[in-house]
């Protein structure tokens, strides 16, 4: 069960796949993942983890509630 906080990019992608997203696919400046009619842009890889604020924005765009994220 991932806690809501800083997370590695590969763990973010893995958890999104468990929630039914497919990808990531290349396109434009960022990779993206899809699920039904939702297209979610995935942050580019950087040296550090994805912070709590960016994770919150990604989950909001994906339509995933914080409780659902923590119950994975």
Residue-range domains of the chain with CATH? 9-70 (3.30.920.30)
Assessment of whether the complete model's pTM goes beyond 0.85: yes
Q: Which string of b and e fits 38-65 if b means at least 16 CB within 10 Å?
A: eebbbeeeeeeebeeeebeebbeebebe
pLDDT in tens, 23-57: 999 988 899 999 999 999 999 888 889 999 999 99
């Amino acid at each position: 069960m991932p806690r809501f906080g800083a997370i590695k990019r590969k763990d973010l992608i893995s958890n999104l796949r468990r929630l039914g997203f497919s990808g990531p696919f290349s396109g434009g400046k960022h990779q993206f993942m899809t699920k039904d009619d939702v297209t979610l842009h995935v942050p580019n890889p950087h040296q550090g983890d994805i912070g709590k604020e960016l994770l919150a924005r990604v989950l909001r765009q994906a339509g995933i509630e914080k409780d659902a994220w923590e119950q994975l």
